[in-house]
Amino acid sequence: MSVLKSNRGQSKMQFLETARELTEFTKTQCVKLPKRYTFFGVQRTWECADNIFANIKRGNSIYPTNPHEAQMRRDYFLIALADLHVLAAYIDDIKRRFPIKDTVIGQWVEMVTTEQKLLKSILEKDKERYSKLWSEQNNI
């Protein structure tokens, strides 16, 4: 049975899809930039987007059964969150150097912001979900 679009909630895996879309969008924008700037920021921006997606996939692939695994999962998500902040700085740098439409920059920044919110939400849910594992570690 179908659910009306207005009644749909957010998917639990939306953070993965948004990260994938962000990576694709970033690569599309990087390819449009002049080739002579490849080693002056474009390559770093591309790699940063790849790292975000890779770390989110790594973190999501861990199903914690002990405190160490829970910490590894959290670390991957925190690294991805830090890379999102770096990507935002790279986007700002690209905006200042190249004549890119404000609508494109706005869409790009919106994707970064959305992914940051989704990751923070995952981190909060994980804190609640794995609090039992953390308390077991403190009792040892």
Q: Which of 113, 112, 135, 126 is closest to 59 using CA atoms?
A: 126
| Cβ pair 62, 80 in contact under 8 A | no
Ordered by start, the domain boundaries in the chain are 19-139
Average pLDDT, the chain: 86
* pLDDT at residue 2, rounded to an integer: 59
Q: What is the CATH class of 19-139?
A: mainly alpha
Q: Say which residues have a Cβ less than 8 Å from residue 5's Cβ, sequence separation at least 6.
A: none
Whole-number Cα distances in Å, 104 to 26, 43, 53, 59: 11, 19, 20, 29
pLDDT of residue 130: 84
Phi then psi for residue 105, to 5 deg, are -60, -40
Query: For position 122, what pLDDT does the model report?
Result: 94
pLDDT band at 39 (very low <50, low <70, confident <90, very high): confident
pLDDT for the residue 1: 52
Q: Has residue 139 got a pLDDT over 70?
A: no
Q: Give pLDDT tens digits for 44-90.
A: 999 999 999 999 999 999 998 889 999 999 999 999 999 999 999 99
> Is the pLDDT score of 126 beyond 50?
yes
> Which residue's entry shows tokens 């002579």?
36
User: Rounded mean pLDDT of 94-120?
Assistant: 93
